[in-house]
Amino acid sequence: MYENNVETVEIIEKKVERIVDNIDELVAQKKFGEIKKQINDLEPFDIAEVLEELNSAELPIVFRLLSKDNAADTFVEMSSDNQETLINAFSDAELKAVFDDMFVDDTVDVIEEMPASVVKRIINQADLETRQRINEILQYPEDSAGTIMTVEYVSLKKEWTVEQCFEYIRKIAVDKETIYTSYVTDAQRRLEGVISAKELLIADPKTTVGSIMTTDFICVTTDTDKEKVATTASDYDLSSIPVVDKENRIVGIITIDDIIDVINEEATEDFAKMAAVLPTDQPYLEQSVWSIVKSRLPWLLLLMVSATFTGLIINTFEHQLSLISTVLFGCVPMLMGTGGNAGSQVCVTITRALALEEVEFGDILTIIWKELRVSILLALVLAVSCFAKLQLIDRLLFGYDGYTFAVSAIVSLALFITIILAKLVGCTLPLLAKKCRLDPAVVANPFITTVVDALSLLTYCGVAVALLG
Amino acid sequence: MYENNVETVEIIEKKVERIVDNIDELVAQKKFGEIKKQINDLEPFDIAEVLEELNSAELPIVFRLLSKDNAADTFVEMSSDNQETLINAFSDAELKAVFDDMFVDDTVDVIEEMPASVVKRIINQADLETRQRINEILQYPEDSAGTIMTVEYVSLKKEWTVEQCFEYIRKIAVDKETIYTSYVTDAQRRLEGVISAKELLIADPKTTVGSIMTTDFICVTTDTDKEKVATTASDYDLSSIPVVDKENRIVGIITIDDIIDVINEEATEDFAKMAAVLPTDQPYLEQSVWSIVKSRLPWLLLLMVSATFTGLIINTFEHQLSLISTVLFGCVPMLMGTGGNAGSQVCVTITRALALEEVEFGDILTIIWKELRVSILLALVLAVSCFAKLQLIDRLLFGYDGYTFAVSAIVSLALFITIILAKLVGCTLPLLAKKCRLDPAVVANPFITTVVDALSLLTYCGVAVALLG
């Protein structure tokens, strides 16, 4: 009996799966008492997952079975489609009930995904103060700290004693997103210091906050890029960061849960860009076919057209090459493939290092020197193996006599040069992009592949014609 | 004067840069008083960055200028090379001083990077209890929750009143990594409940913890994969997770700062794998040329050899193709390139979605159906544009008469089929990999490219020969 209340995440997952599998049936059989019991005992995140299984008719019915403290938290975790369905099904009273229990930053997240009509309803039910805060947050530039900050923070006055502070925190704790860091402000709401609940707890109840607060704290401005906020938090191990305006007045704080979301979003965005996809902030399954097409088409088209050059190169040398040996064409895919792989290996590595601020443009010489040595070693091993492969596998094993000693040598030499070129281009491209305020992730894969394809072909044909032409 | 003490992260960065640029000079001029003043007023993370500038002779001298509370925190943030240099320079007393101020999980992180001799010194200076804890942690399987957990957590007894709890927490707070979540355990150290400092603060001082603690909390086992720990924390917005053993005894907790490190490491690892690099947990600049070569060579070799097939395909059809039209070869790079891009677009998207647990194998039919519609749309647009490109750019503009109406039609048709194949392979491969407990990130880029290369060539040559052979 005892063990039951210790639920490891693995156990919880199985439980959720079971409910997900049965919910349709339970709804069909109208076993609402049963449903109510089962879902209310889950975490909001899991409840949201269960609700994803329902159609727009069933959703509101089941949502109404949630306990008051589950309702808002679950709503926040749901997909925007489901949120919209619910809002449209809500009475004004229900709408107000849910949004009153939400923090302003979550409300804004919802609003940003909703059509104007729905937004209007949400804004109308909010009290004047909340409405103003929502509008403020909506006005900050995209991807800025202002858009992800929470306005529910604890602010203290420096003349208060630790005792008074605790009294105050106790009173307002319920409505604040975090009480573990408090912010000491003056009459103009200017940030004077920060103090953690731990420091308050250890301190003598009679001392004033002003005497024990930290005055050299780290903060960001409303315009700071949210990616910067994320790196700052992970670099300095902060669990919340104050956001100040131009006059150093505190306007909000960014809490760790939102920071983690940013970290994941930014990584996903870079993955998308490197795969030649225009990033969207919607989860894959929520994206419509059309929006997926729109996010993939531009790059595919651009890269296809840019491949014209590789075509031209081949066409130009074609005649000469076929005179030398027709098998030369057979090695083109291998050459371009290996070149592309060698290039993206370093390109992706550097791009990621830039994103984590492990390297900067200033390191370019160090990096080039390192890559030069790396590429020579790699090129040597690969060229030799390539030569062996052509002689042993292709010539002896498969009997392509076209792969004479000379031809194999040319291919291997071309490969050697290609790899070194690929590595050097691959490491400089992202750094230059960063320097030119372009996005290294976009320059990295797949753009690099196109550049390297052309380079490798030119080298190949050049070498072949030069040595045998 | 006032503004000075509000330092946004942007201001701090500039300050650090200035010091980094001048530190060498200051050391050369032996201005240690100046150095002491400047660096002690930085955050440990930034001090570590400054120290990276120094050579192994200067490093210990400057490190000794750090204030006691900066020393350990800075040491933790430093590169393992610098840590080793320092440990070797430390007297036993200095070594003890630094490690006594470190949390056990940080000590273990250091130990894992050090040679045996150094490890011995570190272990020897630790007191018996710490030594046992270190050894315990070192025994957990790689990448498991056990290896990243902290043993310094707050545990309460359920019969204690809130008042007593605060008294206790106040006493031990200094040595605990976090006091914002406390863990209620029985006599056998079995986890019975969890309570946040916020809940304690709001509660009536006279009530017992047992009556207000949360009994359905989320925890992981020592063997839980750390990636799973990370997704759990971000899914449920947890700022720390308890770790229990097989008997549900709490053995440690994982704090948010370590969770963020895991999130970043895992993303970096996936980036590396997708770029055909064997992941290493060292930052790029710290890796030796040799270790970089070792991490890149295997895949490059494997992919080069696997390109044999593409070569064989070309060689097989070569004769027939050249009979039809020699320009057909010119389109091979474009076809393979576009196919590869189309494939990796979806492959990377699905892989990332799997990592974030947005999709699972069960969604395979939904995904295939979605990708089928997407690919048909994309293929249509690209095939048409390709036809236009060949006719307008290559034929009219560049005057390659080889691109007859028929040839262009064949190329476009091949492209159409290739894209659809690439998308379908690209979306199923990572899902199948996951199902077979393989790593989707490895299957994704670049393996997909090799598969798609072969597919597109077969299609191309097949179509050409079939229609014109």
pLDDT reported for residue B190: 92
Grade residue A5 by pLDDT with cuts at 50, 70 and 90: low
Which of chain B's residues have a Cβ under 8 Å away from the Cβ of A219? 6-9
pLDDT reported for residue B1: 36
Alpha-carbon distance A25 to nearest alpha carbon in chain B (angstroms): 19
For residue B407, give the nearest of B391, B383, B385, B384 by alpha carbon. B391
Contact B307 A334 (CB under 8 A): yes
Structure tokens at B72: 């350990």
Name the residue in chain A with its Cα closest to that of B306.
A334
Contact status, residue A370 vs residue B292, Cβ threshold 8 Å: yes
Q: Does the global pTM surpass 0.90? A: no
Helix (H) and strand (E) counts in chain A: 23, 7
Which of chain A's residues have a Cβ under 8 Å away from the Cβ of B103? none
Q: What is each CA distance from A230 to A235, A236, A445, B12, B372, in whole angstroms?
A: 9, 10, 24, 16, 37
Pick the residue of A300, A321, A331 with the most B CBs within 10 A to test the interface with B by mutation. A300
Which of chain A's residues have a Cβ under 8 Å away from the Cβ of B326? 318-319, 322
Alpha-carbon distance A114 to nearest alpha carbon in chain B (angstroms): 22
DSSP letter assigned to residue A52: T
Contact A260 B347 (CB under 8 A): no
Contact A297 B216 (CB under 8 A): no
Q: Enumerate residue ranges in chain B where pLDDT < 50.
A: 1-4
pLDDT digits (tens, 9 = 90+) for A285-342: 888 888 889 998 988 888 888 877 888 888 788 777 777 777 788 888 888 889 988 9
The region, left, alpha or beta by phi > 0 then psi within -120 to 50, assigned to residue A411 is alpha
Grade residue A378 by pLDDT with cuts at 50, 70 and 90: very high
Residues facing residue B7 across a β-bridge: A218
Name the residue in chain B with its Cα closest to that of A357.
B283
Q: Which helix (H) or strand (E) holds A223?
A: none
Name the residue in chain B with its Cα closest to that of A427.
B284
Cβ-defined contacts of B381-384 (< 8 Å, 24+): B381/A297, B381/A301, B382/A297, B382/A300, B382/A301, B382/A304, B382/B338, B382/B415, B382/B416, B382/B419, B383/B412, B383/B413, B383/B415, B383/B416, B383/B419, B384/B412
Burial grade of B46 (CB within 10 A; 0-12, 13-18, 19 or more): buried
Contact B202 A389 (CB under 8 A): no
Which of chain A's residues have a Cβ under 8 Å away from the Cβ of B415? 304
Structure tokens at A469: 């032409």
pLDDT reported for residue A60: 94
Q: Where are the beta strands (DSSP E) in B1-56?
A: 7-8
**Residue B260's CB: how many other CB atoms inside 10 A?**
23
Helix (H) and strand (E) counts in chain B: 23, 7
Residue with token string 């700071």: A224
Contact B235 A453 (CB under 8 A): no
Nearest to A333 among B180, B299, B307 (CB): B307
Range list of H helices, B275-362: 289-306, 308-324, 332-355
Grade residue A453 by pLDDT with cuts at 50, 70 and 90: confident
Correct CATH for A155-262 of 3.40.30.10, 3.10.580.10, 3.40.50.170, 3.50.50.60? 3.10.580.10
Residues of chain B with CATH 3.10.580.10: 155-262
Residues facing residue A154 across a β-bridge: A182
Rg (CA), chain A: 30
**Residue A169's CB: how many other CB atoms inside 10 A?**
20
Contact B220 A8 (CB under 8 A): yes
Contact status, residue B400 vs residue B327, Cβ threshold 8 Å: yes
Alpha-carbon distance A131 to nearest alpha carbon in chain B (angstroms): 26
Which of chain A's residues have a Cβ under 8 Å away from the Cβ of B388? none
pLDDT reported for residue A469: 64
Residue B240 to residue A241: CA distance in whole angstroms = 18
pLDDT reported for residue B206: 94
Residues of chain B with CATH 1.10.357.20: 289-468
* The domain made up of B9-139 is a member of CATH 3.40.50.300: no
Which of chain A's residues have a Cβ under 8 Å away from the Cβ of B198? 173, 179-180
Contact A197 B218 (CB under 8 A): no
Nearest to B220 among A5, A9, A299 (CB): A9
- The ipTM assigned to this model is 0.85
Name the residue in chain A with its Cα closest to that of B332.
A311
Residues facing residue A195 across a β-bridge: A182
Contact A45 B235 (CB under 8 A): yes
pLDDT reported for residue A72: 92
Contact A338 B307 (CB under 8 A): yes
Q: Where are the beta strands (DSSP E) in A164-206?
A: 181-185, 191-196
DSSP letter assigned to residue B436: T
DSSP letter assigned to residue B3: G
Name the residue in chain B with its Cα closest to that of A287.
B370
Residue A66 to residue A153: CA distance in whole angstroms = 28
Average confidence score pLDDT of chain A: 89
Contact B2 A190 (CB under 8 A): yes
pLDDT reported for residue B285: 83
CA–chain centroid gap for A87, Å, is: 28
* Residues in contact with B171: Cβ distance below 8 Å, sequence separation at least 6, in sequence order: none
Q: Strand, helix or coil at B439?
A: coil
Contact A234 B264 (CB under 8 A): yes
Position A125, amino acid: Q
pLDDT reported for residue B4: 47
* Residues in contact with A18: Cβ distance below 8 Å, sequence separation at least 6, in sequence order: none
pLDDT reported for residue A427: 93
**Main-chain dihedrals φ then ψ at residue A187, nearest 5 degrees:** -60, -30
Nearest to B256 among A5, A256, A304 (CB): A256
pLDDT reported for residue B5: 64
Strand order in the sheet with B7-8: A250-255, A240-244, A218-221, B7-8
Nearest to A345 among B170, B277, B350 (CB): B277
pLDDT reported for residue B32: 92
Residue with token string 């659809």: B420
Contact A338 B224 (CB under 8 A): no
Q: What percent of chain A has pLDDT over 70?
A: 98
Contact B333 A352 (CB under 8 A): no
Name the residue in chain A with its Cα closest to that of B395.
A312
Contact A338 B259 (CB under 8 A): no
Handedness of CA A388, A394, A396, A400 (dihedral sign): negative
Nearest to B198 among A179, A332, A374 (CB): A179
Alpha-carbon distance A390 to nearest alpha carbon in chain B (angstroms): 9
pLDDT digits (tens, 9 = 90+) for B122-156: 988 888 888 988 888 888 998 899 999 988 899 99
Contact B334 A239 (CB under 8 A): no
Q: What is each CA distance from A88 to A114, A115, B53, B274, in whole angstroms?
A: 11, 11, 60, 42
pLDDT digits (tens, 9 = 90+) for B318-366: 777 777 777 788 888 888 889 988 998 899 899 999 988 889 898 999 9
Structure tokens at A355: 């994103």
Contact status, residue B253 vs residue B105, Cβ threshold 8 Å: no
- The number of C-beta contacts closer than 8 angstroms across A and B is 396
Pick the residue of B237, B248, B354 with the most A CBs within 10 A to test the interface with A by mutation. B237
Residue with token string 């393979």: B336
Residues of chain A with CATH 1.25.60.10: 9-139
Q: Where are the beta strands (DSSP E) in B67-222?
A: 154-156, 181-185, 191-196, 218-221
Alpha-carbon distance A7 to nearest alpha carbon in chain B (angstroms): 6
* The domain made up of A289-468 is a member of CATH 1.10.357.20: yes
Q: Which helix (H) or strand (E) holds B253?
A: strand B250-255
Nearest to A329 among B329, B386, B402 (CB): B329
